[in-house]
Amino acid sequence: MADSVPRTILLAAPRGFCAGVDRAIEIVDIALQHYGAPVYVRHAIVHNTHVVADLEAKGAIFVEDEDEVPEGMPIVFSAHGIPPEVRERSAARGLEQIDATCPLVTKVHYEALEYAAKGMSIILIGHEGHQEVIGTMGQAPESINLVETPEDVAALDLPDPDRVAYISQTTLSVDETTGIIEAIKEKYPAARGPKGDDICYATQNRQDATKVLADRSDLILVVGSQNSSNSQRMVEVALNHGAPAAHLIDDAADIDPAWLEGVDTIGLTSGASAPDVLVSDVIDHLQALDRGAEVERLTVVDEQMHFALPAKLRNLPIAAVTG
């Protein structure tokens, strides 16, 4: 980068928290105010290390199994959703259940149950081991077949080719699912898909903004944690759409100065579970390195979405209830 040319930080919008993440974090905050600490949360409420650390500091305790929760205590289910047996085991322990599952994930659960009730074989497009996939497969385990690639589709041998349906993990790349859906339709022409796209609005909007960044940036930084599927996909989208370089960073401390050599325009965005304060910290860090760096805002979609809180929390008589 020539010294006479100030670096441009191209800041994407939309970015950061989606409505489902906002809702999930607010649910834990309200539960802490109402029940008092500790409140137990099954799995990371959202996949971001900073969010989890902040809630831990307030008194949330994160566990991977409901059996770790003392009997009778409140338990919050993460935004990624859970299989039905988790509710059953929690009820057996007398736990006060609070469900923070994203409504868009719940939509996929309903689709799975509907298809299974009709006796259809279900193909789930998703990543094995992801919490959302575990929760979705648990809705109808005898009917669901997980695929990650078109090759996985080719290996399927479903009992009735005329009774096939497909659903998908909400945080995948739109481009990634397109090829797999094409493979499904080629092998099972009668396959039925959901009434609306399972890829969530926030995932798609952030990927669309990332594509525009890729056209205009020498380097793209995506703020998000390594266990965030939607953040990982944004890096892939950036590279697949021509960005010379793209990196996933948890915060400003992860930036390697070598990445910035010869870079005039930095595209900056963040995954759906990353707090915007982390993006501000990255901007401050970059401007400290280059006093001439200017921020240019790039708005691709004007995102307006809000999800109501669960009824049991909306009715609590505390000032924190805003949903």
Express each pLDDT in 222-273 by its tens digit: 999 999 999 999 999 999 999 999 999 999 999 999 999 999 999 999 999 9
Q: Which burial class, exposed, middle or buried, applies to 3 when counting CB atoms under 10 A from its CB (0-12, 13-18, 19+)?
A: exposed
Number of domains in the chain: 3
The one-letter amino acid at 161 = P
Q: Which of 66, 132, 148, 182 is catalytic?
A: 132
Domain that holds residue 171: 104-187
Q: Hey, is 14 helix, strand or coil?
A: coil
For residue 318, what pLDDT is reported? 55
Q: What ranges make up the beta strands (E) of 46-183?
A: 60-63, 74-77, 96-99, 121-125, 144-147, 164-168
| Distance from C-alpha of 242 to C-alpha of 244, rounded to nearest angstrom | 6
Q: Which of 68, 102, 136 is the last residue of a domain?
A: 102
Q: Does the annotation count 85 as an active-site position?
A: no
Q: Is 151 helix (H, G, I), strand (E, B) or coil?
A: helix
Is the Cβ–Cβ distance between 213 and 185 less than 8 Å? no
Residue 112 located in a structural domain = yes
- Looking at the structure, tell me whether residues 82 and 119 fall in a common domain: no
Q: Is residue 193 part of a domain?
A: no
Of the pLDDT bands very low, low, confident and very high (cuts 50, 70, 90), residue 204 is very high
pLDDT tens string 171-202? 998 888 999 999 999 999 999 999 878 989 99
